[in-house]
Copies of this chain bind each other. A is one copy, B any other.
Amino acid sequence: MKVLTAFNYDSNSLKNKMQQTFRLIIDCPDQLGLVANVSQFLAEHQATIVEASHHTDQQTGRFFMRHEINADSVNLSMESFASAFRQVASQFDMQWKLTDSHQKRKVALLASKESHCLNDLLHRWHSGEMYCDIPCIIANHPQMQEYADWYNIPFHWIDFASQDKQAAFEQILELLEKYEVDVTVLARFMQILPDWLCHKLAGQALNIHHSFLPSFAGAKPYQQAYDRGVKLIGATCHYVTQDLDEGPIIEQQVIRISHSDTAADLVRKGKDCEKTALANGLRYHLEDRVIIHQHKTVVFA
């Protein structure tokens, strides 16, 4: 009888295993010589390209590029490298950023009473699959405290029942600022963010909607799906915007159902879609794979 061995990524030392890369994300008007100049710049600095993705939106003439570069290969610090790139960037009128794969983002999780997405993300984080820090969990109900406690993460219950929503959301913003949060994830947070907060968190807040948008926007999507008699249900991870359920879509998942599934079965089956769509969407975001272009996304998955 022999012992099976397996890959094992259950470790908080993921960083040590992960090759350090710099990620250069570019968004600019499509122009001749663009790729050549960027590539020339990278070659001049000895940058080994681990992954490269391009996309041109033919309708808008906008160009998007993502490079993942072996950090060790570059003969400069990230700061100096960024400084040096500024000239290329300005020449081509780029919106751009350079990020370090070893630099953990701070991700705040917002929840209500449903635990499936929360638990899923926490486990992926804890097991080293999702590379980030989770400085706090904020909820409008107290039940999720147990998950926060297990994972030893500060939990903040913002009581929406005993105060007006404006005050409640101001408290949330305070917490996000206090913890210097980079990304806010609405992991089945069942309160609609006010416009001012959507604006504040633009491009940095992800939601999971429990339907295959644009079908069944709004409340009780599983009941809507049941009532309509669709044969597949789904979930949608999108950026939060002022227009409820209309934000740029990052990822969607679907699952087959039948007449024999009750509305409660849809809820159960849909949860697996929600978990996967949100986890994929967040991972793409954390790895700088998503570029928002107007009300859509480019996802270099």
Q: Which residues of A contact B (CB under 8 A)?
A: 1-10, 30, 32-33, 35-40, 42-43, 46, 48-56, 58, 112-116, 119-120, 123, 127, 129, 143, 150, 160, 165, 188, 190-192, 194, 210, 212-216, 219-220, 222-223, 228-232, 234, 248-252, 254, 256, 258-260, 262-264, 267-268, 271-272, 276, 295-299, 301
Asked if A42 and B50 sit within 8 Å, CB to CB, the answer is no
Determine how close the nearest CB of chain B comes to the CB of A224; give it in whole angstroms.
9
Q: A4 vs B115: C-alpha distance in the bound complex, in angstroms?
A: 16
Supply 9 further A-B pairs (C-beta < 8 A) apart from A4-B191, A254-B254: A7-B222, A7-B223, A9-B264, A35-B35, A36-B39, A37-B43, A229-B249, A229-B295, A229-B297
8 A-B contacts, Cβ less than 8 Å apart?
A: A5-B220, A6-B220, A7-B223, A10-B143, A35-B49, A50-B56, A53-B53, A116-B129
Given A4-B190, A56-B49, decide whether A230 and B216 contact each other with a Cβ distance below 8 A: no
Which B residue sits closest to A191, measured CB to CB?
A: B3
Asked if A119 and B129 sit within 8 Å, CB to CB, the answer is no
Which B residue sits closest to A234, measured CB to CB?
A: B232
Asked if A58 and B262 sit within 8 Å, CB to CB, the answer is yes
Asked if B46 and A114 sit within 8 Å, CB to CB, the answer is no
Q: A215 vs B245: C-alpha distance in the bound complex, in angstroms?
A: 13
Interchain CB contact (< 8 A) of A249 among B1, B190, B228, B299: B228
Determine how close the nearest CB of chain B comes to the CB of A16; give it in whole angstroms.
14
Q: A145 vs B82: C-alpha distance in the bound complex, in angstroms?
A: 45
Asked if A210 and B36 sit within 8 Å, CB to CB, the answer is no
Asked if A301 and B114 sit within 8 Å, CB to CB, the answer is no
Residues of chain B within 8 A of A268, CB atoms compared: 9, 129
Determine how close the nearest CB of chain B comes to the CB of A187; give it in whole angstroms.
13
Q: A297 vs B222: C-alpha distance in the bound complex, in angstroms?
A: 17
Which B residue sits closest to A192, measured CB to CB?
A: B1
Asked if B58 and A4 sit within 8 Å, CB to CB, the answer is no
Among A53, A114, A127, A259, the one with the most B-chain Cβ atoms within 10 Å of its Cβ is A259
Interchain CB contact (< 8 A) of A231 among B7, B220, B252: B252
Q: A58 vs B263: C-alpha distance in the bound complex, in angstroms?
A: 11
Interchain CB contact (< 8 A) of A188 among B1, B6, B259: B6
Asked if B10 and A113 sit within 8 Å, CB to CB, the answer is yes
Residues of chain B within 8 A of A40, CB atoms compared: 36, 39-40
